[in-house]
Amino acid sequence: MINRAAPTDYDVVVVGSGIAGLSAALSAAPNARVAVVTKGALDDGCSRFAQGGIAAAVGDTDSAELHYEDTIAAGRGLCHPDAVRVLVEEGPARIRQLIDWGVAFDTQDGELLLAQEAAHSRPRILHARGDGTGLEVETALIRRLRASSARVIEHADVTGILTTADGLACGVSITTDPGESHVTTLSSAAVVLASGGASRLWRNSTNPESATGDGVALAYTAGADVSGMEFAQFHPTALAVDGAPRFLISEAVRGEGAWIVNRDGKRFVLDVDPRGELAGRDVVARAIWEELERSGERCVFLDCSPLGARAAVRFPTIAATCARYGLDMTRQPIPVSPAAHYMIGGVTTDLEGATSVPGLYACGEVAHTGVHGANRLASNSLLESLVFSQRAVHAALGWAGESPPAQPGPTRLTSHQRASTLDPRDGWNALRDALWAGAGVVRDQNGLRAAARSCDDVVAATSGDSTLSTMQLHAAASTASLVCAAALAREESRGCHLRSDLPQASDQWHGDLVMHKDRGARFDRHL
């Protein structure tokens, strides 16, 4: 039963402060009581690191229709056409909103500069600070958030979605301080989950520490549908230098003319696709993975010599990072190899960002809107975050306006039942190694089964312990288990889900695999 007596602390609690959470909070703040809860500092998510830019059909030679066609083509038959329509048609308005909010995109003679990236048929990538797009966006949006009426709660892990006895979302529980594991709750009429992706669960990843898939585990535990978890996208070109982080070398570098070559200087991607370096991400990542298997080498190379000195001007962050590791990108080939980069799957949402739990909305990388199908088109994720965060927060405010104040049911808060004997460091290592070895760029049934066993072991070893470090690991392992289960279940290769034991796409699998904690898995066939 919903308790109608007590008012809520907030109209909306937004979980996460990447581009999705910030844009949702900024839209809501003028007219609603909003709290933004984030587990690190405000700019700790993936958004800050985005380099290439944001795709939107704003150029003279471009149209929403062309952007639609490119997105659908990249998605290998699994994009939700209605979601892609929303993305491409509302994209330009969201760009104007970002400019109104103070984001300074790169321009020339007063005109927006547009770059072309792999698998986009037109120049349509807006960028800022050269390759510092995410930093510019986060900086502008955070400045605006700080000046708004929204309450900002940093360094606070959301460790539970509160639900009423009827299963409506009605707030979050937050745990702070790993030593003490202090738990507090915030009640709200609606929750907007914008907690980002999960790619840091793999051993080799371009993502920051925050991207451990918490939101999927939180929503799944609260009873939400989760879908598309087999589709984890690997970026073909992450820096592969000993001792260096797997820093992303953006697609835009190839868009500007750089080549991928093996140690003999051969452009081997041309052997599998006539578009060569400009082929889709799945094609290029697989070509590199197979070249590495064939040669036994640990990296291939990105040859930026076709760009000449322009490379360092157009890509200052990449040039500076390479220089830090003794590489001059204008004269030396950059060693690169694939790394986990983007989680296509996530919490299932409709076009308004609503999940299957009333009052719970999701947007950004944590959500599965169906926009990306089986393979995300580069630079569409920032746009997806912007477009669907606006839709989600408007729907959440509508819900908040209509639904009565609700209080959590008594059984939903976590209680400390037992102490885990697993050292969290060992658990994280086991998880990351298992996913990289068994659920990497190319998978097969045996590897996936082994990975699933390792993840399930970590889930079992960490359940019931409410110290923050163990709860964080438990959430990560739960999400990793869903990845393995989905990848095992989808018996075909499609987009970025590549099975060496089942190399063809199959009509039988033309749809979404949806998972629910009580109802198990179902297959939603696309018509």
Ligand X SMILES: Cc1cc2nc3c(=O)[nH]c(=O)nc-3n(C[C@H](O)[C@H](O)[C@H](O)COP(=O)(O)OP(=O)(O)OC[C@H]3O[C@@H](n4cnc5c(N)ncnc54)[C@H](O)[C@@H]3O)c2cc1C
CB of 385 to ligand X, least distance (A): 5
Closer residue to ligand X (CB): 471 or 488: 471
Q: What angle do CA 217, 229, 488 make, to 5 degrees?
A: 115
Residue of 116, 125, 119 lying closest to 73 (CA atoms) = 119
CB of 505 to ligand X, least distance (A): 25
Closer residue to ligand X (CB): 204 or 207: 207
Closer residue to ligand X (CB): 459 or 488: 459
Residue of 23, 52, 16 lying closest to 385 (CA atoms) = 23
Which residue's structure tokens are 């749809």? Answer: 511
CB of 41 to ligand X, least distance (A): 8
CB of 410 to ligand X, least distance (A): 23
DSSP for residue 154 = -
Q: Residues 6 or more apart from 444 whose CB is under 8 A from it?
A: 499, 500, 501
Closer residue to ligand X (CB): 98 or 211: 211
Q: Residues 6 or more apart from 107 whose CB is under 8 A from it?
A: 113
**What is the contact surface with ligand X in residues (CB under 6 A)?**
15-21, 37-40, 44-47, 49-54, 133-134, 157-158, 194-197, 206-207, 210-211, 214, 248, 342, 364-366, 379-382, 385
Contact 524, 514 (CB under 8 A): yes
Report d(CA 225, CA 368) in Å as an integer.
10
CB of 422 to ligand X, least distance (A): 20
Given 3-state DSSP classes, what are the helix, strand and coil percentages for the chain, each rounded to the nearest 5? 35, 20, 45
Report d(CA 101, CA 372) in Å as an integer.
27
Report d(CA 29, CA 264) in Å as an integer.
56
Closer residue to ligand X (CB): 382 or 395: 382
Q: Residue type for 225, please?
A: D
Q: Residue type for 400, please?
A: A
Closer residue to ligand X (CB): 341 or 499: 341
DSSP for residue 190 = E
Q: 33, 144, 254, 281: which is the annotated catalytic residue?
A: 281
Closer residue to ligand X (CB): 118 or 513: 118
N-term to C-term CA, the chain: 38
Contact 460, 477 (CB under 8 A): no
Q: Residues 6 or more apart from 457 whose CB is under 8 A from it?
A: 430
Residue of 370, 344, 514, 346 lying closest to 79 (CA atoms) = 370
Closer residue to ligand X (CB): 247 or 268: 247
CB of 38 to ligand X, least distance (A): 4
Report d(CA 447, CA 158) in Å as an integer.
32
Neighbours of 433 (CB within 10 A): 14
Closer residue to ligand X (CB): 206 or 493: 206
| Catalytic (active site) residue 281 | yes
CB of 492 to ligand X, least distance (A): 25
CB of 30 to ligand X, least distance (A): 20
CB of 54 to ligand X, least distance (A): 6
Phi, psi of 112, deg, nearest 5: -60, 135
Q: Tokens representing 485?
A: 């289960």
Which residue's Cβ has the minimum distance to ligand X? 18
Report d(CA 373, CA 229) in Å as an integer.
11
CB of 478 to ligand X, least distance (A): 12
Q: What angle do CA 321, 213, 135 make, to 5 degrees?
A: 35
DSSP secondary structure, 318-337, as one string: HHHHHHHTT--TTTSPEEEE
Kindly list the distances between the CA atom of residue 165 and the CA atoms of 169, 187, 318, 354, 516, in Å, as whole numbers in the listed order.
10, 14, 51, 19, 18
Contact 128, 59 (CB under 8 A): no
**H-helix or E-strand spanning residue 347:** strand 346-348
Closer residue to ligand X (CB): 318 or 442: 318
DSSP for residue 186 = E
Which residues are marked as active site?
281
